A and B are shown apart, each in its own frame.
Chain A
Amino acid sequence: MKVLIIEDEKALSASIFAYLNSEQYICEIAADYHSAMTKIGQYDYACIILDINLPGGSGLDILKELKASKKAEGVLIISARNSLDDRLQGLNSGADDYLSKPFHLSELAARVAAIIRRKSFDGNNNLKFEELELDVFFKTVKVNDRIVDLTRKEYDLLLYFISNKNKVINKSAIAEHLWGDNMDMADSYDFIYTHIKNLRKKLMQAGARDYVKSVYGMGYKFTRS
């Protein structure tokens, strides 16, 4: 699946590229309006990560162009202008999601994955990871075809992990994802630990292997190795 990163800050696009580019996604970068338009005209992407302020033009114009040419790309807007107007304008113009800078790359990856899932109209709501099977429509999890009873937060956590598999996710990114950024609890992340512990216990009791690795001091990694 191809992902286009339209972002004029080279350092930022390089980081996004480094994080997302994997066996799952093939990423490309466009640093200005014109090269972005060229790339969009030439290829089809599963998802486009779009910055609004670009040299040579506005990201919103690219969005309009995309919609006018009836392309099926999912669009995630990333903007430094964290204003409601931008968000509304972006979403009204047909963007699928909006993320304001600065963001956690793990959050970006989760949003991209969600957009791609929604855009793939193969009628398949299932997301598989080894013996785990998630129904993203009904928000249920099966291990070896048996439903595991997870709380809403545990399900969100698992989905977040799977969207960021093989990546170290910082605990503050997890906290923000689960509780939103209004939950300013300073440096107390004990409550995340409780949720992760419960999730692991439930999955292992259902017969799954333990994929959650704690990475010293920083956070967690969801990996099969």
Chain B
Amino acid sequence: MNLFTRYFRINLLATVVIFILASLAFYFLLWFVSIAQVDEDLRIEQREIETYVQKYNHPPEPISVKDQNTSFAVSEIRGKYRKFNTIPSPNPAERENFRQISFTLPVNNQWILFKVSKSLEETEHLNQSIIVISLITIVAILLVSLLINRWQLRRLWKPFYNTLSGVEKFRLGEKAIPHFADSPITEFNLLNTTISQFIRNADREYFLLKEFTENASHELQTPLAIVRSTLDVMMQDEKLSESQSQSLQAAYSAIQKMSRLNQSLLLLNKIENKQFSNIISFDFKTLVQEKMTDWQELWQGRNLSISSSLESAFVSMNEQLAEMMISNLFSNAARHTPEAGHIHIKLSARAFEISNSAADGPLDQDKLFKRFSAVGQTTDHFGLGLSIVKQIADVSGMNISYRFTNGDHIFSVYFKPAGV
């Protein structure tokens, strides 16, 4: 439920309740006032009759007009008596009620009970009209307030939704920091300034961290070069003993791994920095075929059976990145396929998919594309391959997903739909 709906519901309920209570109160008040008015008229009738009886010493002729009936009879009650009450119409065909005053008067040593009743038709009509008018007013006011609220609230809250969509689109590390338009409302301005500041801070921190990683990686290159070249020179020594050779090779392998790791980190940074900006349109199939030829012998060496079904797929992306993506996926598949397992490579216009037989169960989806999360059984690699693939997919507007089906790990890269 969004804020508007919520607000409208509360508002609607409150308004309806208040209106109903108010109209009820109004109705009853009006009713009492008009009954009092009628009663007053009846009292005047009573005084007239009293005056008449005093003057002539006999009751007046009962005259019944349409809206008023008068009657008298010998009273059973002896003494002064007066009572008002509401009675149904003496004519059963009519629906409206009558208000009646009953009072006694002594006439010629006899107590006579007079009954004068007045029709309440007009009063009831008036009350009905009032009810109808207030109902119409309620509905009209509700409708109008609903419309005004809807329109006004939308307009008033627009800056908030603008800000929200700006924040939603914002990604850390992206150059474009959302700009929030000034609003005449203080609260929204405060919100915007706070968010802007927050974003700027986060962005600065992120940038510093990235710069640090980048610099650290770059600074490592030279020492790595020195160590590696020194080892290269030491290796030339013909007087090396077997154990010295072994130690040397161990150091060499470690340096090899370290440079590879460092290069991967630099590469990730470069991709993030969008340094691969040269985007061309090409057939992914050609590239996949090329890479498959490269990898063929490495796969054969591990007794893996390779199958493929390739269709043409024209994509727009950086070719170098595409190459790296394929290499990393192939390398990942090769590394995690058990001896004599199989790898299937599928390319359609929509997606590139590589599946390989798994040694264990499904991989952890959450950790899969994160840096340095060594999923799977091999411990001697750094788990950067899939982060690189993910990063490439991200900057190229593609989606990557993983699923585990029938004992196979399946990685799918969904291409950006054409024309987007």
Chain A contacts to B: CB under 8 angstroms: 9, 11-12, 15-16, 18-19, 78, 80-85, 100-106, 167-168, 170, 172-173, 179, 181-188, 190-191, 194, 215-219
Residues of A within 8 A of B229 (CB): 12, 15-16, 19, 102-103, 105
Which of B53-61, B232-240, B358-366, B395-403 sits within the interface? B232-240
Contact between B385 and A184 (Cβ–Cβ < 8 Å)?
Answer: yes
- By a beta-carbon cutoff of 8 Å, the part of chain B in contact with chain A is 218-219, 221-222, 224-230, 232-233, 235-236, 242, 245-246, 248-249, 252-253, 255-256, 259-260, 263, 266, 270, 275-276, 294-295, 297-298, 301-302, 323-324, 327-328, 331, 334-335, 378, 380-381, 385
- Say whether A179 contacts B226, CB under 8 Å: no
Docked pose: A118 CA to B246 CA in angstroms:
38
Of the residues B233, B246, B331, contact of A18 by C-beta under 8 Å: B233
- Cβ contact within 8 Å between A11 and B232: no
- In the bound complex, CA of A176 to CA of B380 (Å): 18
Task: Give the chain B neighbours of A190 by CB distance below 8 A.
Answer: 301
Out of B253, B266, B275, which one reaches A187, CB within 8 Å? B253
| Complex contacts, B224 vs chain A, CB 8 Å | 101-102
Q: In whole angstroms, how far apart are the Cα atoms of A182 and B295 in the complex?
A: 11
Task: Give the complex CA separation of A125 and B371 in angstroms.
Answer: 47
**Residues of B contacting A: mostly:** helix
Given contacts A12-B229, A217-B246, 8 further A-B contacts (CB under 8 A): A15-B229, A15-B233, A83-B275, A102-B229, A103-B228, A104-B228, A182-B327, A216-B242
- Measured in the bound complex, the distance between the Cα atoms of B238 and A116 in whole Å is 28
Among B235, B260, B324: residue with most chain A CB under 10 A? B235
Top 7 A-B pairs ranked by shortest CB distance? A15-B229, A102-B225, A80-B221, A101-B225, A105-B232, A102-B224, A182-B327
**How many angstroms between the C-alpha atoms of A104 and B228 in the bound complex?**
7
The listed residue (A19, A182, A215) touching B323 by CB distance below 8 A is: A182
CB–CB B233/A179 < 8 A:
no
B249 contacts A11, C-beta separation under 8 Å: no
List chain B residues, Cβ under 8 A from A19. 229, 232-233, 236
Which residues from A are CB-within-8-Å of B256?
Answer: 172
CB-based contact B232/A15 at 8 Å: yes
B221 touches A101 (CB 8 A): yes
CB of B141 to closest CB in A, whole Å: 68
Which B residues touch A167, using CB under 8 A? 236
Contacts of A78 in B (CB 8 A): 225
- The reply to whether A183 and B221 contact each other, CB–CB distance below 8 Å, is no
